[in-house]
Amino acid sequence: MPPEEPPAPGRHDAAEHRLGTTAVAYREVGGPEAAAANLAWWDADADDYQAEHGGFLGDADFVWCPEGVREADARLLGDVRGKRVLEVGCGQAACSRWLAAQGARAVATDLSAGMLRHAREGNERTGAAVPLVQANAEYLPLASGSFDAACSAFGAIPFVASVDAVFAEVHRVLRPGAPWVFSVTHPMRWIFPDDPGPQGLTVTQPYFDRTPYVEVDDEGTATYVEYHHTLGDYVHALAAAGFTLTDLVEPEWPEGHTRVWGQWSPLRGRLFPGTAIFRTRRS
């Protein structure tokens, strides 16, 4: 499919300029191209992301989503004291530092060296000693059966070519009965433009079209890739990997919460969910 309109102007202008992004396309993207594009993207965007969202996420807090659900209140992972917990797609690793403060032995992984640089700086500011591992979530360089729990708060899952591979890897490194909890953009958001305002209330994209969203440069090379999965896709992939779904949390927009984060806003949040949190257990 040929490139369509250029990306809308916004916060990501700096990263798009650095990467030479000129257009948007919907086309198939394999694992190597997606990994290269998203590694470059998050390295280019890491500083701006931290500048905009670092205050909301904190240095050692576990925020599941833009709606502000915190693990301190939700306790979706249960008691983590003394447990070895893996964070997949950690970004600046605030969640792992919170887990460490609760007595967990947290390990944080991310594809992006730029995001892990902010994670190291967060470790230094807080005095936390959370191990940081640069890794593709589809190929975790970790021993089988070595973790008691795993989590991902808007981490790697939407950016990898094979969610089946990610779930299989998480299953491999977890011990039997261990929880695997992750949050992603609610799949129904795929049908709307990525806009927090009134234009983001009009359906423009089929829910069942799984063709990846791709930003490209003048040569057609991907500079950013995001994959869509329906709710059913996630449930089927989890079951195939050996996980039992125990809860699906769709956070409502909190009263008085006025923060706009990308496509998340009070306008949209009052009408339909922006986040899906899957709580599962290794069978």
For 204-223, the pLDDT digits (tens) are: 999 999 999 999 999 999 99
Q: At what angle do helices 31-57 and 113-126 cross, to 10 degrees?
A: 30
At a CB cut-off of 8 Å and minimum separation 6, what does 247 contact? 76, 277, 278, 279
Mean pLDDT of all residues belonging to the chain: 95
**Do 106 and 150 contact (CB within 8 A), yes or no?**
no
Q: What distance in Å separates the CA atoms of residue 131 and residue 109, rounded to the nearest whole number? A: 9
For 17-41, the pLDDT digits (tens) are: 999 999 999 999 999 999 999 999 9
| Per-residue confidence (pLDDT) for residue 92, from 0 to 100 | 98
Indicate whether 135 pLDDT > 50.
yes
| Per-residue confidence (pLDDT) for residue 100, from 0 to 100 | 98
Q: How would you list the strands of the sheet with 23-26, edge to edge?
A: 23-26, 213-216, 222-226
**Rg of the chain on CA atoms, in Å:** 18
Indicate whether 12 pLDDT > 80.
no
Planar angle of CA 6, 7, 12, nearest 5 degrees: 140
| Per-residue confidence (pLDDT) for residue 4, from 0 to 100 | 55
pTM (2 decimals)?
Answer: 0.95
At a CB cut-off of 8 Å and minimum separation 6, what does 32 contact? none
* Run of H or E including 231: helix 231-241
Q: At what angle do helices 94-101 and 113-126 cross, to 10 degrees?
A: 30
Q: Which of 12-21, 160-169, 243-252 has the lowest mean pLDDT?
A: 12-21
